Amino acid sequence: MATASAAFKSREDHRKQIELEEARKAGLAPAELDEDGKEINPHIPQYMSSAPWYLNAEKPSLKHQRNWKSDPNYTKSWYDRGAKIFQAEKYRKGACQNCGAMTHTAKACMDRPRKIGAKYTNKNIAPDEKIESFELDYDGKRDRWNGYDPSTYHRVVDLYEAKEDARKKYLKEQQIKKLEEKNNNQEGDDAATSDGDEEDDDDLKVDEAKVDESRQMDFAKVEKRVRTTGGGSTGTVRNLRIREDTAKYLLNLDINSAHYDPKTRSMREDPLPDADPNDKFYLGDNQYRNSGQALEFKQMNIHSWEAFDKGQDMHMQAAPSQAELLYKNFKVAKDKLKTQTKDTIMEKYGNASTEDEIPMELLLGQSERQVEYDRAGRIIKGQEVILPKSKYEEDVLANNHTSVWGSWWKDHQWGYRCCQQTIRNSYCTGSAGIEAAEASLDLMKANIARKEACEESPKKVEEKRMAAWGSDVPEDLELNEEALANALKKEDERKREEKDERKRKYNVKYTNDVTPEEMEAYRMKRVHHEDPMKDFL
């Protein structure tokens, strides 16, 4: 009843609040002030100017509509990069041992590791960095441009302007060069000159149109609509063939032959590897990728990647013409360097292949070394075989051993040949250790043989079938009266538990061992359905 009256009272307050707002809009009541003390304009509709009645608000407020958790002192400032706050003249306790700044430790120091730190030299003390911390809101944490300085974009603009100026300068030089060649060739035939002028003009036009190379290179491109009614996406059809040619996936119908990918229409391996190469029309996509212009294009790609990694501004996809020109210049410079190196070596050491005659000093040269050969021309004696050495240590003898580890093998174990031990880094015992090991082995074998001889064969345990299991009780069966009485008590308890489930215990002890007394108690207590006097028991 109290809850209903409270709800009715809240509704009455809400109705009065609405009437007061209507009176204020009509000018019959004093104006309402918001939370900041400003007057609310009655002519502007104030939606939900008062909190709902179920919030039990004391006065009308718009707090439930505002982001009251936002911090008014929130700032969008960013870290002052590279700012320093104090420059010390000598090392201070607790500062970085490498550079001497107090704002970080030696483990987090970003300076070059000094040979002798500032802690010991007291020189070149680095200034302290400015440490700042900001509490960013939800949008600030996810703003990928937070802290970006727009003034740094002028570097990108300058780079593109420099490229454009260089391109214009190159085109102008080419134009001047063409005009000079034209003036030098004016003495020739008029017809040839006119043809040359037309060709030069065409070349200049092509140079001026190098900016838009896509229109000139679209002659081999086939536009195709892909799975869209209006042609949303287009693609270039690769591996073009005429319709009379046999499809590559029909060249070999064996399921274990080269794999064909229907999505990319590619078959990398050769579908007919055993056929005659002169009769084959298709050798697989890998054959085309590793031969002809495809191999040269791959080498050009690799050159552009390596040049970009080394700091040169070139990209195969962004500027293919520039990349191809730089690759040609690179090959010319490489061949020139090879030739220069070859000439330098030939100048210094000479070239024996270009000399006409071999000096007599070499033909009649004598030595004290005697070499014997067989009939096939192989060296028999006189030239020792030099064994190649590895980078690992060889023939290192330790712990008084005269042979290396791994020179002995027995019973699937490596060991030392000198003492026949199979324990790594053990001390060498020599021939005495071998004799002791053999004696120990003989003793162990003798002990095993003696133990086998002394052991008696185990007696066969006769399996006694309990007379109480599935057979008639023999006359000579003797039962323990006390055990039989206990078994009868247990059988009575079990019967009572079966009748009343509440008396069944939680922990049940179950065993398979049944004694003759327990079996006799079960026979005595069980119900004989064939007995006509069973109801009187």
Q: What is the DSSP letter of 266?
A: B
Determine how many CB atoms are found less than 10 A away from the CB of residue 258.
19
- Per-residue pLDDT tens, the chain, 537 aa: give them: 444 444 445 566 767 777 767 766 655 555 555 545 555 554 444 444 555 666 666 665 665 565 555 666 666 678 888 899 999 999 999 999 999 999 999 999 999 999 999 999 999 999 999 998 888 878 888 888 888 888 889 999 999 999 999 999 999 999 999 999 888 887 665 555 555 555 555 554 444 444 444 444 444 445 454 454 444 444 555 555 667 778 888 888 888 889 999 888 889 899 998 888 888 888 888 888 888 888 888 899 999 999 999 988 888 889 999 999 999 999 999 999 999 999 999 888 887 777 667 766 666 766 667 778 888 888 787 766 566 677 777 888 888 898 998 888 988 899 998 998 888 888 898 888 889 888 988 999 999 988 888 876 555 544 444 444 555 566 667 788 888 888 888 888 888 777 776 666 666 666 677 888 888 888 888 777 777 777 776
* Of 65, 87, 105, the domain-final residue: 65
Domain boundary among 452, 469, 487: 452
- DSSP for 30-66, please give it: PPPB-TTSPBPPTTS--TT-S--GGG--SS---GGGS
Contacts 24+ apart (CB under 8 A), 297-300: 299/327, 300/324, 300/327
User: Does residue 89 belong to any structural domain of this protein?
Assistant: no
Judged by DSSP in three states, 182 sits in helix
C-alpha torsion sign, points 334, 337, 343, 347: negative
Q: Residue 525: what pLDDT?
A: 80
Q: How many domains does the chain fold into?
A: 4
Cβ 304 vs Cβ 314: under 8 Å = yes
**Which residues fall within 8 angstroms of residue 41, CB to CB, at 6 or more apart?**
none
- DSSP letter, residue 232: -
What pLDDT score was predicted for residue 94? Answer: 92
In a domain, 113, yes or no: no
- Confirm if 247 and 262 have CB atoms less than 8 A apart: no
Question: Facing residues of 413 across strands?
Answer: 410
The one-letter amino acid code at 411 reads D
Would you say residue 311 lies in a domain? yes
The predicted structure's pLDDT at residue 185: 85
**Full residue range of the structural domain in which residue 408 is found:** 399-452
Please tell me the distance from the alpha carbon of residue 126 to that of residue 84, in angstroms, as a whole number: 9
Q: What pLDDT score does 461 carry?
A: 47
Q: Is residue 109 part of a domain?
A: no
Q: Do residues 269 and 308 both lie within one domain?
A: no
Half-sphere exposure of 513 (CA within 13 A, CB side): 1
Q: Cα 321 vs. chain centroid, distance in angstroms? A: 35
Q: What is the pLDDT of residue 334?
A: 94
43 within some domain: yes
**Residues 408 and 438 grouped into a single domain:** yes
Q: The pTM is what?
A: 0.24
Q: Which of 420, 435, 452 is the last residue of a domain?
A: 452
User: 331 lies in a domain?
Assistant: yes
365 part of a folded domain = no
Are residues 297 and 269 both part of a single domain? no
Same domain, 421 and 444: yes
Does residue 29 sit within a domain? Answer: yes
> Is residue 31 domain-shared with residue 60, that is, in the same domain?
yes
